[in-house]
Amino acid sequence: MRPSARKLDELREVQIEINAMAHAEGSCLIKMGGTHVLCSASLEEKTPPFLKNTGLGWVTAEYGMLPRATHSRTKREAASGKQSGRTQEIQRLIGRSLRAGIDRAALGERQIVIDCDVIQADGGTRCASITGGWVALRLAVNRLLKAGAISSDPILDNVAAISCGIYGGQPVLDLDYAEDSVAGTDGNFVMTGKGRLIEVQMSAEGNSFAQDELMELLKLAKLGSAALVAAQNKALGGKV
Amino acid sequence: MRPSARKLDELREVQIEINAMAHAEGSCLIKMGGTHVLCSASLEEKTPPFLKNTGLGWVTAEYGMLPRATHSRTKREAASGKQSGRTQEIQRLIGRSLRAGIDRAALGERQIVIDCDVIQADGGTRCASITGGWVALRLAVNRLLKAGAISSDPILDNVAAISCGIYGGQPVLDLDYAEDSVAGTDGNFVMTGKGRLIEVQMSAEGNSFAQDELMELLKLAKLGSAALVAAQNKALGGKV
Amino acid sequence: MRPSARKLDELREVQIEINAMAHAEGSCLIKMGGTHVLCSASLEEKTPPFLKNTGLGWVTAEYGMLPRATHSRTKREAASGKQSGRTQEIQRLIGRSLRAGIDRAALGERQIVIDCDVIQADGGTRCASITGGWVALRLAVNRLLKAGAISSDPILDNVAAISCGIYGGQPVLDLDYAEDSVAGTDGNFVMTGKGRLIEVQMSAEGNSFAQDELMELLKLAKLGSAALVAAQNKALGGKV
Amino acid sequence: MRPSARKLDELREVQIEINAMAHAEGSCLIKMGGTHVLCSASLEEKTPPFLKNTGLGWVTAEYGMLPRATHSRTKREAASGKQSGRTQEIQRLIGRSLRAGIDRAALGERQIVIDCDVIQADGGTRCASITGGWVALRLAVNRLLKAGAISSDPILDNVAAISCGIYGGQPVLDLDYAEDSVAGTDGNFVMTGKGRLIEVQMSAEGNSFAQDELMELLKLAKLGSAALVAAQNKALGGKV
Amino acid sequence: MRPSARKLDELREVQIEINAMAHAEGSCLIKMGGTHVLCSASLEEKTPPFLKNTGLGWVTAEYGMLPRATHSRTKREAASGKQSGRTQEIQRLIGRSLRAGIDRAALGERQIVIDCDVIQADGGTRCASITGGWVALRLAVNRLLKAGAISSDPILDNVAAISCGIYGGQPVLDLDYAEDSVAGTDGNFVMTGKGRLIEVQMSAEGNSFAQDELMELLKLAKLGSAALVAAQNKALGGKV
Amino acid sequence: MRPSARKLDELREVQIEINAMAHAEGSCLIKMGGTHVLCSASLEEKTPPFLKNTGLGWVTAEYGMLPRATHSRTKREAASGKQSGRTQEIQRLIGRSLRAGIDRAALGERQIVIDCDVIQADGGTRCASITGGWVALRLAVNRLLKAGAISSDPILDNVAAISCGIYGGQPVLDLDYAEDSVAGTDGNFVMTGKGRLIEVQMSAEGNSFAQDELMELLKLAKLGSAALVAAQNKALGGKV
């Protein structure tokens, strides 16, 4: 029995509210149960220096968490003077995942910065950030297309992410904090709208795992990812 | 004519939604027109070292802004490795203001940390942080009282803050960003529920100002502050 | 009775020795009783980047304190790797105050950096820094005028600052450390030579204060400021 | 054809020289072709604070690279004042991987710090660090066993890591820099001596990949990992 | 001919004004011509952790320079967030030199921190800091002796420092900035009151030098050091 | 009797293995007994900004130490976020020493960065770094000469460094850690191939020393330096 009484392959309730931040070129508030993340896309009309004169664009991401998004207060990274290794690992993952879903030549020499800020945390914040970050990116690119700044759509496919893990000896989908904090093996799968893989990150801090378990988790991830892609498209209305 | 078509002494619409963050001991989302701030109070059962064995408690504050709370993206302070002078100035002001409204002996040797994070900015973020921060503080103290951890209420009075300034040659209340960015003289008034002063901060970067102007702004601030105190009390229901 | 036996409206002895630093374009050593601050003005023939091609100049300030300027040794900020919030707040105030007394178009595209370093501290260091910083600025601008680098005087008026507070229930002028450390309400007034206001910063950490008290302190501040302006002009001889 | 003319499933030449650092409790120099990493294990007779009085030990890792380990000089992280996100991601992976192969209760309340410093880089430095780091850990634990400080062996199994990727459309084992810098999909597999999985990290920055490709890479990884485990055991002689 | 028209073996005018800082346990303002350094000694009644329970005391030093002590403004180290290599090298030298003149067991488990802040620079600031720092140390130790906190004098001898160099092909004593900035070879000699050596630091950035030149500079240094020791004793009156 | 049973004027065994790092323009591994340092020279085809358009080149150095190069583990400087004062002092010494042996006009507007990383430490790491750093520099310059990038050899002479000290009351050459950690007086001498001096750094933390002792140590240093220069030339074969 899962703490939330969900079935093994059941996602938490997903809500995606678009245009949640007035100033951003694209934004949404994504809720996966008790995990809430504000995602914004900021368009900059120049690339980072290493891409100058290559004709290629760039998508990058930054991740943060409000100090009291968590059960007990977490020290503010701005006050402690540096981003933790965990934060850096997560924002690198978000950026890499979103870049894998975009044709950087079609984007042209501009940069889109995705900011994912966790307002409330209950497990799976990096996956929610990727899924919501893609919606913000989609909206910012729509604006570029509408304005005629680019002629063909650089977005190749939806990108969504979901966590899976072995909880109580059983493979489960979309771990919340109560599950995540005790699962021996868990991981994150980033997938495209067509069900292809972008990132697989499975870790066993406590117990090693077998190839069969990896396969079962992958099966769950496909289910979850398809549902998230549907939620993305529904939130965007006819806007994709 | 103000850009927002408001009257000279008219506040923006004020909304205070309490318990906006699931994990905090007290929290609210305060909206002053387009300025939205998430405020949380985190209770820690020990004081900072300099108060050990004094019997006194402490209230402190931290302030942040999401990178895309603003018209164009602001660099994330956690990434740049330090809090700006502006951020430090604001969070010192919030902490000082809220401490002035509390009896630290009645609070006892514990600390309450107020986090004010600006989700969306349209001028007056430090004032909204103080007004909302006080609501979060009130809720956290209510919890202490209810739990019997303290026997008498350490909160002496409401604390609220409002900006005023000279815009287009006229004294105006509650400047939004369009006004704030051009006002030659502006400032912030922090006041108690009874209308006494806690902080007065008036600045003239462009033009010096006369004592009479200070008096007129103070009159506006009293009006605004009284309305904010009423909004605090209404949001808290019978909970104060 | 004040610890120094001064009258309620009595300044400490003010001494301003100009040209105290051989290399600076303008400098002075200002002493307000036991508070001694070395102030220098450094002229740079370019503005900060955000003013490029605007025709406007800039005045900025930095503040520091020798580790043993204080009763017990204060940690050296260069060693601890950052400036405290207090230091940043003070240097922002000094810069803002001095800019309010200058016509930046008349200054032209150059920057003057005011360094205020506290050699010995006995309360009121930020006010002494502003009063002395203006003298250093005046001397550096005189040099520009004499050299023909600018044709009209960009300095609009003197700028001086003084602290006031409620000590032992009475409004007093120019608090020293013994008063400052116990005063419930105190603040700083920055004024022009003509008695107009540039900054008002009143704070009540312990007790809120009434509008009447603000008015009484403002009255004292005018007296003090006028005396400081006279001391500035006397120190400068016929040089203003 | 691979740049190195290796077969698709062929490892680079592996050399592990134990006791390469005179002062460490365990150490080795591991060479995977042109990638050379010095690995040391430092034993500390206390755990990090969060494990105090739990009876559990800890294994952690730090990773570094000499500035001229790479084709062109990389800025020294000690000089730039922080570890890059890449460095932090790698050292977190090494620590997590090695912890998964140890019984922390059997280790007892002590910490072993694994330092992996890349002397020369030609792709696959994080995998070489894990494989060599385990040898250093094994030697340090041997010393504890020999000294009677612990009674049962806390090491559960060998831990080794190998990279795989899609190069020129073909799945290949143990990518060198020439392959790694152009492969669209690649990843790292950390495995135990018995062939179970500890970490799977597959990334597609350029192209998404199919589940079948993941399976093929996993097959290669098993081959490579088995060979590395053999090399570890051979280097340790009868010492395991 | 030296720029200052001094003879080859002639010191600049030396002035040492004791008790220049009201709050310090010992202090002086030392002037070597245009080089002015404020030196203070701060007594702390505990040693650094590494000396706990050894019965030994410690003397350490910190060095700083006001931004406009120099011909053109130097960036403030507190603002740039770290002390330069030069600053660290100098303060390590001052601390090491003063420790060599003290019996740390006689001092007992306490620490004296010497702060040397350059108010105005014209070459030789590190030597002036050592010579003045010793005077501040002497005064702080006198206070300990007078208070009966220690029974025997821990100061073994005077410590003074002087620079020498090859200028225009000739060995000269006490280089000022005009000489120092062009001298191919120069260095600093720290000596005791009895003429024994504590530190010798000779550097040739431009030209290597011969052993004979080292001997000649050493001869000059002895002359200079003796004069500085006399100046120290004179400034201290009968207080040594 | 020395701990290593060496004679008073006996160097430790010196080994210099050139081309120890595949990617560097010049490199060596130098071993002085148990002290092992990897030295590399990285050629950059531009000078630092302050030399732009002067026609002069630059040689600079960075120094580091693997955390477990030492008896007990030293904190990694990259992790603690800054280089220690000791590190900065050493790398400034290495850079200054190597620049003294080069004609910067003949080098032309390019920079050579020498990295010295201590793999294993047993005293004398800064001297080994200079001696080995010069070999790396020589090899990088050889490459420039061979490529015709420069027409005349900018290297004026060999540069080598050796430590000496008073151990057990006797002057000894090339102190190892066991001697260095107890010697009251020790120092480093940097010399040219012709026996001229570049740097002399003698320190007495414990005891002051006499001029005669300086002379005796200098005599030893000459012997040691000559042997090191011979070892440099032998390692380079006919390549100098």
A240 touches chain D (CB under 8 A): no
A110, A57 Cβ separation under 8 angstroms: yes
| Residue F123 known to bind ligand | no
Q: Which pLDDT score, from 0 to 100, does residue E206 have?
A: 75
For residue E196, tell me if it sits in a domain: yes
Using 50, 70 and 90 to split pLDDT, how confident is the model at D139?
very high
Contact A196 D218 (CB under 8 A): no
Asked whether residue F76 is domain-assigned, the answer is: no
Tokens 């000649």 correspond to: E216
CB contact (8 A) between residue F96 and residue E208: no
The reply to whether residue A200 touches residue D201, judged by beta carbons under 8 angstroms, is yes
Residue C58: name the closest of C42, C70, C76 by CA.
Answer: C42
pLDDT score of C133 more than 60: yes
Helix B125-146 vs helix B85-99: crossing angle, to nearest 10: 40
Closest CA of chain D from A201, distance in Å: 5
pLDDT tens profile C209-239: 999 999 999 999 999 999 999 999 999 996 5
Q: How far is C102 from chain B (nearest CA, A)?
A: 9
Rounded CA gap, B68 and A115, in Å?
8
CB contact under 8 A, E82 and F85: no
Give residue A239's pLDDT. Answer: 54
Q: Which residues span the domain enclosing D188?
A: 14-70+84-236
Using the predicted structure, report yes or no on whether residue D238 has a pLDDT greater than 70: no
How far is the C-alpha of F232 from the C-alpha of F217, rounded, in Å? 22
% chain E with pLDDT above 70:
99
Tokens standing for residue C173 = 């002028």
Number of helices (H) and strands (E) in chain A: give both, helices first: 6, 9
Residue B81 has its nearest CB partner, among A73, A81, A120, at A81
Look at residue E187 and tell me whether its pLDDT is greater than 60.
yes
pLDDT band at C156 (very low <50, low <70, confident <90, very high): very high
E77 contacts C82? CB cut-off 8 A:
no
Question: Which of F166, F167, F144, F169 is closest to F154 using CA atoms?
Answer: F144
**How confident is the model over C121-125, as a mean pLDDT?**
97
The dihedral over CA atoms of B126, B127, B133, B135, expressed in degrees to the nearest 10, equals: -160
3-state secondary structure (DSSP) of residue E197: strand
Which residue in the set E44, E117, E120 is minimally distant from C21, CB to CB? E120
Mean of the pLDDT values across residues C189-193?
97
Query: Which residue is it, tokens 């032209």?
Result: C108
Nearest chain C CA: its distance from B194 CA (Å) = 10
Question: Is residue F129 less than 8 Å (CB to CB) from chain D?
Answer: no
Give the helix/strand (H/E) hosting A38: strand A35-44
Closest to F123 in 3D by CA, of F18, F31, F233, F5: F31
pTM of the model: 0.93
Cite the annotated binding site of C for phosphate by residue number: 86, 124-126
Amino acid at C194: K
Q: Per-residue pLDDT averaged across E155-161, rounded?
A: 97
Chain B nearest CA to C105, separation (Å): 12
In this complex, which of E44, E76, E87 lies closest to C64 when CB atoms are compared? E76
- What does chain D come to in residues? 240
Q: In this complex, do C117 and E66 lie within 8 Å of one another by their Cβ atoms?
A: yes
Ranges A127-131, B201-205, C33-37, D222-226: which has the least confidence: B201-205
pLDDT of residue F1: 87
Phi first, then psi: what are they for F152, rounded to 5°?
Answer: -120, 150
Nearest CA-CA partner of E93 in E220, E196, E187: E187
Average pLDDT over residues E201-213: 90
Judging by beta carbons within 10 Å of its beta carbon (0-12, 13-18, 19+), is residue F189 exposed, middle or buried?
buried
Strand ranges in chain D using DSSP code E only, listed in sequence order? 14-18, 26-32, 35-44, 58-65, 111-120, 159-167, 170-173, 185-192, 197-204
Asked if D109 reaches chain F (Cβ–Cβ under 8 Å), the answer is no
Flag if B23 and A76 touch (Cβ within 8 Å).
Answer: no
Cα-Cα-Cα-Cα torsion B121, B127, B129, B135, nearest 10 degrees, comes to -130
The answer to whether C50 faces chain B, any CB pair under 8 Å, is no
Q: Within chain B, which residues score under 50 in pLDDT?
A: none
Burial class (CB in 10 A: 0-12, 13-18, 19+), F175: buried
Whether C104 shows a pLDDT value over 70: the answer reads: yes
Q: Determine, yes or no, domain membership for F9.
A: no
The interface predicted TM-score (ipTM) is 0.94
What part of E 175-194 touches F (C-beta under 8 Å)?
187, 191-192
Residue A1 is predicted with a pLDDT of 87
CB contact under 8 Å between F214 and E197, yes or no, is yes
Instruction: Please tell me the distance from the alpha carbon of residue B239 to that of residue C5, in angstroms, as a whole number.
Output: 50
Of B82, B199, B209, the CB nearest to C203: B199
In whole angstroms, give the CA distance from residue C165 to residue C8. Answer: 10
| Chain F environment of E85 (Cβ under 8 Å) | 85, 88-89, 91-92
Mean model confidence pLDDT for chain A: 95
> Contact partners of C by the rule of 3+ C-beta pairs under 8 A?
B, E
Closest CA to A221 of A190, A178, A181, A184: A190
Q: What is the pLDDT of residue B238?
A: 63
E86: which chain F residues are within 8 Å (Cβ-Cβ)? 92
Distance, in Å, from the CA atom of F125 to the CA atom of A86, rounded to the nearest integer, reads 36
Question: Do the domain assignments include residue B103?
Answer: yes
Has residue E240 got a pLDDT over 80? no
Distance CA B43, CA B93 (A): 20
Establish if E78 belongs to a structural domain: no
Which residues are CB-contacts of C13 (< 8 A; sequence separation ≥ 6)?
Answer: C31, C32, C33
Q: How far apart are CA A58 and CA C126, in angstroms?
A: 47
C-E contacts at Cβ under 8 angstroms? 95
- Does C113 map to a domain? yes
Which residues neighbour B231 within 8 Å (Cβ) at sequence distance 6 or greater? Answer: B14, B16, B131
Question: How close A147 gets to chain B, by Cα (Å)?
Answer: 18
- Does the structure show a pLDDT above 60 at A240? no
Q: How far is F221 from F231, CA to CA, in rounded Å? A: 15
Q: Partners of D188 in the beta sheet?
A: D163, D201
Asked whether the beta carbons of residue B200 and residue C196 sit closer than 8 angstroms, the reply is: no
The nearest alpha carbon in chain D to F118 belongs to D66
In the structure encoding, which two tokens stand for residue E179, read together? Answer: 């000489």
Please report the pLDDT score of residue C239 as a whole number: 54
pLDDT digits (tens, 9 = 90+) for D210-224: 999 999 999 999 999
Which A positions 3-32 lie with beta carbon below 8 A of chain B? 21-24, 27
Q: How far is D199 from chain A (nearest CA, A)?
A: 5
- How close B174 comes to chain C (CA, Å)? 18
CATH number of the domain where residue B163 is located: 3.30.230.70
- pLDDT at residue B69, rounded to an integer: 98
C-beta atoms of E202 and F197 within 8 A: yes
CB-CB neighbours of E16 under 10 Å: 22
Pairwise CA distance, residues E69 & C22, whole Å: 8
Nearest-Cα residue of chain A relative to residue B42: A73
Between CA C14 and CA C17, with CA C15 as vertex, the angle to 5 degrees is 155
Given a contact cutoff of 8 angstroms between Cβ atoms, the answer to whether B164 and B214 are in contact is no
Cβ–Cβ contact C206 with B under 8 A: yes
Among F97, F162, F178, F173, residue whose Cα is nearest residue F134? F97
How many interchain CB pairs under 8 A, D with F? Answer: 95
Distance CA D107, CA D122 (A): 34
Handedness of CA D172, D176, D178, D184 (dihedral sign): positive
Residue E19 has pLDDT above 90, yes or no: yes
- Structural domains in chain A (count): 1
Whether D75 has its CB under 8 Å from any CB of chain A: the answer is no
Interatomic CA distance for residues D116 and D27, integer angstroms: 10
pLDDT at E239 over 80: no
For the sheet containing F14-18, what is the strand order?
A: F14-18, F26-32, F35-44, F111-120, F58-65
Is residue A4 in some structural domain?
Answer: no
- What is the pLDDT averaged over residues A10-14? 98
Interchain CB contacts (distance < 8 Å): B and C: 92
Kindly state whether residue F3 falls inside one of the protein's structural domains: no
In chain A, the percentage of residues whose pLDDT exceeds 70 is: 99
Residue among C92, C198, C202 minimizing CB distance to B200: C202
Which residues lie closer than 8 Å to A126 by C-beta, 6 or more apart?
A63, A90, A93, A94, A161, A188
User: From first to last of its 240 residues, what are the pLDDT tens digits of chain F?
Assistant: 899 999 999 999 999 999 999 999 999 999 999 999 999 999 999 899 999 999 999 999 999 999 999 999 999 999 998 999 999 999 999 999 999 999 999 999 999 999 999 999 999 999 999 999 999 999 999 999 999 999 999 999 999 999 999 999 999 999 999 999 998 899 999 999 999 999 999 999 778 999 999 999 999 999 999 999 999 999 999 655
Q: How far is C78 from chain B (nearest CA, A)?
A: 15
